Structure 1
Amino acid sequence: MDSRTVALIRTTFKAVAAEEGGPEKLASSFYATLFSDHPYARDFFPAAMDSQRDRLVRAISYTLDRLEEPDKLLPFLEQLGRDHRKYGVQPEHYVAVATSLKSAMRRFGDTEMWTDEIDQAWDEGLSVIAETMIGAAQKESTPAVWSGTVVEQRQVLRNLTVVRLQLDQPMSYAAGQYLSVQVPSRPRMWRYLSPAVPANTNGEIEFHIRSVLGGWVSPAIVGQTRIGEQWLLGSPLGGLGVPRNVKRKMLMVCCGTGIAPLRAQLMSMAQRRTNPKVQLFVGGHHPCDLYDLDTLSRLAVANPWLTVTPVTENDEYPWWYEDSGEPQAELPGLQPRLTGQIGKVVAGFGPWADRDVQIVGSPSMVQTTKFRLMAAGTQTRNIRHDPLF
């Protein structure tokens, strides 16, 4: 696509998004049009559509922001195409989605602004997206979906659980990637989770899940997961990871269960002969939120290239945490715990100009940490995180 086409697409989308309630209206109109004109498409989506609407708008925004960066956009779309095989999506379904989205855009945009040139621009943009996803799906030889049996469920905190599964066949994924998961109690509600261990030939995989207040899926996983139940898993997604033979130092920043993809990378790196220096800041609201420090301690002791600094916003434990009253022993290999907002703490150490940066956590945590690092002098091109949707 040329710059003119990209500009027309972005301008019309931003005009709709800027209106009061524009993103919500656009999403509602899109799904209403899709389900009305193509009733079979309703079976691909969950009964509750609230979070699905939000994810749609964020996904569109993420894609449009990268229309002029094909080296970043196309691999992302190819991953999505491979992942969408789990729904049983066929090429004609992409046509239905593209037609419905353009109709919704035209309905909520300025009718006088929607010219033939804009119409053609959206056709071209949606065609590139669809063709990239379809092509990647058709070339893929791995399973469309994996099945995994829960073999361990360990309650770490009141609102956090660790689940280990045995896959029906090994899955090849890069440490740091994430994948979509569907649990028996929430059919058609796929949620993204990051494996906390590297891929292995035995097909064993581990997830760390925190219950989100008001969420549909995470509370069900934390409260209802049972040994022996079957989960479904989609294709690996995401681009986090540390390539072999990389020499540039690393800065890793995470909060809560965001430690999972970073821990998987560190475990994978520990199997290599040489590694760059890695500084990991692991954060939480309370000291008990740093639930994986034992593992990080062992990794730091065994690997001199790794430095781990715990950070909490509060020094006290929450009221619901059952404290034994015994003082917590200091773990070897860890730096003294710091207190403060993690983004502010990390940025306070300097611009990190010599580091490649990875940030994992909630969307608000990622954005806040990223902005603080940029304000401190970190180059934007050196900061990586997964799409925030």
Structure 2
Amino acid sequence: MESPEPGQLLTAREIDLVRASVAAVEPYAADLPRFFYAMLFDRYPQVRELFPAQMDVQHDRLVRALLLIVELVDDPANLVTFCGNLGRDHRKFGTLSAHYPAVGECLLATLEHFAGPAWTDEVAAAWTRAYNAAARTMDQAAIDDARHRPAVWQARIVGHLRRSADLAEITVRTDQPYPFTGGQFVGMETPWWPKIWRYYSPANAARPDGSITFQVRAVTGGRISNALVRRAVVGDVLRLGAPLGDMVLDRGSQRGAVCVAGGTGLAPIRALIEQAVLDGRQLPLDLFVGARSFEELYALDDLYELSRRHPWLTIRAAVADEQSVGRGGGDQLLQALASCGPWPRHDAYLAGPGPMIVAAARILRRGGIPLERIHHDPFVSIDLVDPS
């Protein structure tokens, strides 16, 4: 039997088989999660209690995770990082080691169902090897994580400030120390929608009093965001999962940084800048901020004060016109970014609406920054962005 190349998890043949099988089931992407969870809950009813009553978001997450694993199947280092983060994050759901074989069994049966004739014994063997490698990494990361921190933290709301009709600053204090790095994001569960988690980025680096502030915008149809903005009050208790994400400053880098933030994407960038101050950074950092209105630029007050005390920090802000509201600052922000570049000797950090991130990444790549030095919201893909 052919062995994988050194450092690889699968052989070249197995990688091709896994990717071809995903292409075969792609037309059924909308039906695949429903089939999978129906099978899982039928065969293993004891796991149903781990999931929320409404499974719509969970369906989307399954497909995204599956596609990312397939995308990284020939990139073991990044696959291990992704699966490790996934395993640590799944602790908040109550996932146990015994659940992984059940999930694998139902996942492969689901893929076989939708792949039809494309599913062969050879494909099944390749998928078994790929899934087992991912599951081992997730499980071991969770086991290691459990040795030094809890799965969830209780977080009491100590401040709730409405900044606009649909935007609130929510400050919490956890029941035990919550170590995180500026730029990371956090899974959050509310008492009104149990077992439904949403991700938000702290808008600050670590504070002496342990408080954490989140900027939350109520979106149309958003159960969690609307509850946090319009229903939550001081004294309510939320639950936080472990901090996640790699959009943090590279402390070993001798390059400058260019940061682009749109809308509530300013939260992780603001935290990242505060982290730079805590770390004693002296390298140049240029911040470009886009907002939907002047009202939303309130969050810059503290950053302007930091820029007066730290000459390495430069801030430029743009307010959207009516045609570019959905892009968090729109064309003005992108024009400013392009005109102040190029940035070949910088690392880049991007947060905000997906179209803005993709457009900014294209400008930065055109200006000489390679993809591996462009850090961004993990829920937006820029892997195919080219500088043309």
Q: Contact 1:246 / 1:275 at 8 angstroms: preserved in 2?
A: no
The change in CA–CA distance for 1:48 and 1:197 in structure 2 (over 3 A counts) is: same
Q: Higher mean Cα deviation, 4-13 or 180-189?
A: 4-13
Larger displacement relative to structure 2 (160-169 or 283-292): 283-292
Distance in 2 (alpha carbons) for counterparts of 1:313 and 1:14: 39
Structure 2 counterparts to residues 24-173 of structure 1, below 5 A: 24-109=30-115, 111-140=116-145, 141-173=148-180
Is 1:222 aligned to 2:213, yes or no?
Answer: no
| SS at 2:298 equivalent | coil
Say if 2:215 is the partner of 1:208. yes
Please say if residues 212 and 218 of structure 1, whose CA atoms lie closer than 8 Å, have aligned partners that are also in contact.
Answer: yes
Whether 2:374 is the aligned partner of 1:383: answer yes
Shift, 1:72, TM fit = 2.1
- Judge which range, 83-92 or 173-182, deviates more: 83-92
**2:239 paired with 1:248:** no
Task: Kindly state the Cα deviation for residue 86 of structure 1 after the two structures are TM-superposed.
Answer: 1.6
8 A contact 1:194–1:207 mirrored in 2: yes
Q: Is residue 185–residue 243 contact of structure 2 (8 Å, CA) maintained in 1? A: yes
Q: Do the aligned partners of 1:79 and 1:236 also contact (CA within 8 Å) in 2?
A: no
1:290 and 2:297 matched: yes
> Cα 1:201–1:102, aligned 2, differ >3 Å: closer, same or farther?
farther
Q: 1:88, CA displacement in angstroms?
A: 1.6
The answer as to whether partners of 1:312 and 1:340 remain within 8 angstroms in 2 is: no
- 2:375 maps to a residue whose letter is R
- 1:61-86 CA-partner distances (Å, limit 9, x unpaired): 22222222222221222122122112
AA in 2 matched with 1:115 = T
Could you tell me which amino acid in structure 1 is paired with residue 263 of structure 2? G
Alignment-mate amino acid for residue 136 of structure 2: E
CA distance in 2, matches of 1:26, 1:343: 38
Given residue 382 of structure 1, which amino acid in structure 2 is its aligned partner? R
Is the 2:182–2:275 Cα contact (8 Å) retained in structure 1? yes
Match of 1:281 among 270, 278, 288: 288
1: CA distance, partners of 2:155 / 2:165: 24
- Does residue 1:3 correspond to 2:17, yes or no? no
Equivalent position amino acid for 1:314 in 2: D
Given the superposition, is the C-alpha separation of residues 105 and 345 from structure 1 closer, same or farther in structure 2, using an over 3 Å criterion?
Answer: farther
AA matched with 1:11: A
Residues 342, 29 of structure 1: CA spacing in aligned structure 2 closer, same or farther, 3 A cutoff?
farther
Question: Once the two structures are aligned, what percentage of the paired residues are identical?
Answer: 35
How many residue pairs match? The answer is 365
Instruction: Give the aligned partner of residue 314 of structure 2.
Output: 307
Unaligned runs of 5+ in 1: 319-337
Q: 1:63 to 1:365 in 2, by over 3 A?
A: farther
Question: Contact between 1:256 and 1:290, CA under 8 Å: does it hold in 2?
Answer: no
CA-CA distance at 1:372 after TM superposition? 4.2
Structure 2 unaligned blocks of 5 or more: 1-8, 381-388
Q: Does the aligned pair in 2 maintain the 1:170–1:204 contact within 8 Å?
A: no
> How far did residue 117 of structure 1 move?
1.1
Q: Is the 8 A contact 2:204 2:274 kept in 1?
A: yes
1:245 Cα offset (Å): 4.6
Q: Is the 8 A contact 1:245 1:274 kept in 2?
A: no
Say whether the 8 Å CA contact 2:85–2:244 is kept in structure 1.
Answer: yes
Question: In the alignment, residue 160 of structure 2 is paired with which amino acid?
Answer: Q
Q: Tell me which of 203, 221, 246 is aligned to 1:196.
A: 203
* SS of structure 2 residue aligned to 1:309: strand
Deviations 1:142-172 (A, max 9, x none): 0111111111100011111011111101111
User: Higher helix proportion, which one?
Assistant: 2
Runs of 4+ that moved beyond 6 A: none
Other structure's SS at 1:74 match: helix
Answer whether contact 2:262 2:290 (CA < 8 A) is retained: yes
Structure 1 residues 118 and 201: alpha-carbon distance in aligned structure 2, compared to 1, 3 A threshold: farther
**1:163-212 deviation digits (Å, cap 9, x = unpaired):** 11111011111111111010111111111111111124533111111111
CA drift of 1:306 comes to 0.8
Deviates more, 1:195-204 or 1:144-153: 195-204
Match of 2:315, SS? strand
1:358 matched to 2:349: yes
1:367 aligned residue? 358
